[in-house]
Amino acid sequence: MLRKKSLLAFREAKKYIAGGVNSPVRSFKYVNSNPVFFKKGDGCYLTDIDNNVYIDCVSSWGPLLFGYSDKDLINSINKCAVNATTFGAPTILENQMAKKIIELVPSIDMVRMVNSGTEATMSAIRLARGYTRKNMIMKFSGNYHGHGDSFLTKSGSGLMSLNLPNSLGVTKNIAEETLNAEYNNIQSVKNLIKAHRNKIAAVIIEPIAGNMGLVKSDISFLQQLRAVCSENKILLIFDEVMSGFRVAKGGAQEIYGVLPDITTLGKIIGGGLPVGAYGGKKEVMEYLAPNGPVYQAGTLSGNPLAMSAGLSILNKLNNKVYDKLEEISSEIEFGINKIIKKEKINAIIQRQGSMMTLFFTKLKEIKNYNDAQKCQTEKYSEFFKIMLDKGIYLPPSQFEAMFISTALNKNDINKLIDACNFAFKKIK
């Protein structure tokens, strides 16, 4: 498959845009390749600027639950744009969006709209700090919560050691206020709480992680995490920017039956427009300005275009949608697993609903970041490139999840599985 125009466009982009892209993973650097420039999406089909067509398994990193060019979404956006793209003043659409989120997400009584997932998580920890009057936060290695300074940290050699920035520009002081525990390891959480008693404002977690590949929490781990946070007056934040409305109508918290104090959302609530949100218990949310002492604001927050786009998607969510996503995704999982066995490839699939990752590993399961780091990333890169040439667009990193939309039909699924068969034979 030739991608000459994409190559030229990337060469030009690198002259004017830092690294040639507006978000690093798009550069295909993590699969040692060059990015594809797209010009059109239709259902699950993507067309690049060289007129190659791909079956899409990324859904713009999650937002496009129903695939590209969803008619309801486009009509909503068009209808809204005629009136205004923004007022910077309240609209009824914001009330409708807030009510919809509260109806769907079990733990949310009150909500605030923002413009990205990063903004949601940054605001959520400020709120938690203000509410608890404590400074430290805890997160889990391998989880991603956007690019806020507090989240760009990694642990030192041991869990109890000080944390270090993992980006230049993040100060040591900020990094030291973020603790990193091990995913699915409650003892690591307890140890950190013991070492920093009465100092931790919040624990933030992806209850179903998509940022070290797809890794689920164990239910008992999540239940114990809830209990330990309550015992220590620590707010529990579920970052459901990816899992919200994707794995179930009410996100991971609906599946697990474990309720956080604050939830962060993004992606699907904007239907592909830039949106984020955070919400939780009324008592906590009332701490926000203008009524409360924690400041957070946004010129474009809750803007009508994004609200109408998101509402057009949220209003369509019902059990049938999730049944369909499950049917398509389980068929893909089944088909690939069959080839893994047949070709004796060292690989496993981890999946929750329409989010899944094919890990190239000898391990039977990936439970945390340590496990994920042992994967054969070069194998994934090879696999990715062959699949791309066969017209299958996968996430350009071993440590990202596939997001399947309802737009794939039987034929698409078969093409995907056939391409996989071909790719596995090549990389054996």
Residues taking part in catalysis: 144, 239, 267
Is 352 one of the binding residues for ligand PMP (CB under 6 A)? no
Closest to ligand PMP by CB, 116 or 368: 116
Q: Is 125 in the site for ligand PMP (CB under 6 A)?
A: no
Residues of span 328-347 touching ligand PMP by CB under 6 A: none
First to last CA, the chain: 22
Q: What is the nearest approach in angstroms of ligand PMP to the Cβ of residue 1?
A: 27
In the complex, minimum distance from the CB of residue 95 to ligand PMP, in angstroms, rounded to a whole number: 23
Angle at 330 between CA 213 and CA 425, to 5 degrees: 70
Q: Which is nearer to ligand PMP, 45 or 61 (CB)?
A: 61
Choice between 22 and 75, CB closer to ligand PMP? 22
Question: ω before 290 within 30° of 0 (cis)?
Answer: yes
Size of the site for ligand PMP (CB under 6 A): 16
Token pair belonging to 231: 């015992």
Between 266 and 272, name the residue whose CB sits nearer to ligand PMP. Answer: 266
Q: What is the C-alpha radius of gyration for the chain, rounded to an integer number of angstroms?
A: 21
Cα–Cα distance between 3 and 10 in angstroms, integer?
Answer: 11
Task: Say if CB 48 and CB 55 are below 8 A apart.
Answer: no
144 binds ligand PMP (CB under 6 A): yes
DSSP string for 29-67: GGGTS-PPPEEEEEBTEEEETT--EEEESSGGGTT-TT-
Q: Taking CB positions, which residue lies at the least distance from ligand PMP?
A: 117
Angstrom CA distances, 368 to 119, 178, 188, stand at 25, 18, 12
Q: Bridge partners of 38?
A: 48
Query: Which stretches within 55-178 are classed as H helix?
Result: 71-83, 92-104, 117-132, 172-176
Per-residue tokens: 270: 């904007």
Q: Does 217 bind ligand PMP (CB under 6 A)?
A: no
Helix (H) or strand (E) holding 379: helix 377-389
Q: Which residue, 20 or 266, has its beta carbon nearer to ligand PMP?
A: 266
User: 126, 129, 139, 145: which one contacts ligand PMP (CB under 6 A)?
Assistant: 145
Structure tokens at 371: 């496990």
**Interface map 180-209 toward ligand PMP (x if CB under 6 A):** --------------------------x---
Site for ligand PMP in 54-73 (CB under 6 A): 61
Cβ proximity to ligand PMP, 221 vs 399, nearer residue: 399
Contact status, residue 123 vs residue 244, Cβ threshold 8 Å: no
For residue 123, how far is the Cα from the chain centroid? 17
The least distance separating ligand PMP from the CB of residue 423, rounded to whole angstroms, comes to 26
As a whole number of angstroms, the distance between CA 16 and CA 18 comes to 7
Stretch that binds ligand PMP, among 79-87, 110-118, 223-231, 357-365 (CB under 6 A): 110-118
State which of residues 91, 211, 308, 329 lies at the interface with ligand PMP (CB under 6 A). Answer: 211
Site for ligand PMP in 227-256 (CB under 6 A): 239, 241-242
Q: 209 forms bridges with which residues in the sheet?
A: 215
H/E element holding 222?
helix 219-231
Contact between 137 and ligand PMP per CB under 6 A: no
Among 266, 272, 395, 396, binds ligand PMP (CB under 6 A): 266
The helix/strand/coil state of 276 is strand
Contact, 400 vs 350, CB < 8 A?
A: no
* From candidates 59, 91, 118, 185, binder to ligand PMP by CB under 6 A: 118
Nearer to ligand PMP, 151 or 380 (CB): 151
Stretch that binds ligand PMP, among 2-10, 112-120, 166-174, 386-394 (CB under 6 A): 112-120
d(CA 8, CA 72): 35
Provide, rounded to whole angstroms, the least separation between the CB of residue 26 and ligand PMP. 11
Residues that bind ligand PMP (CB under 6 A): 61, 116-118, 121, 144-146, 206, 210-211, 239, 241-242, 266, 276
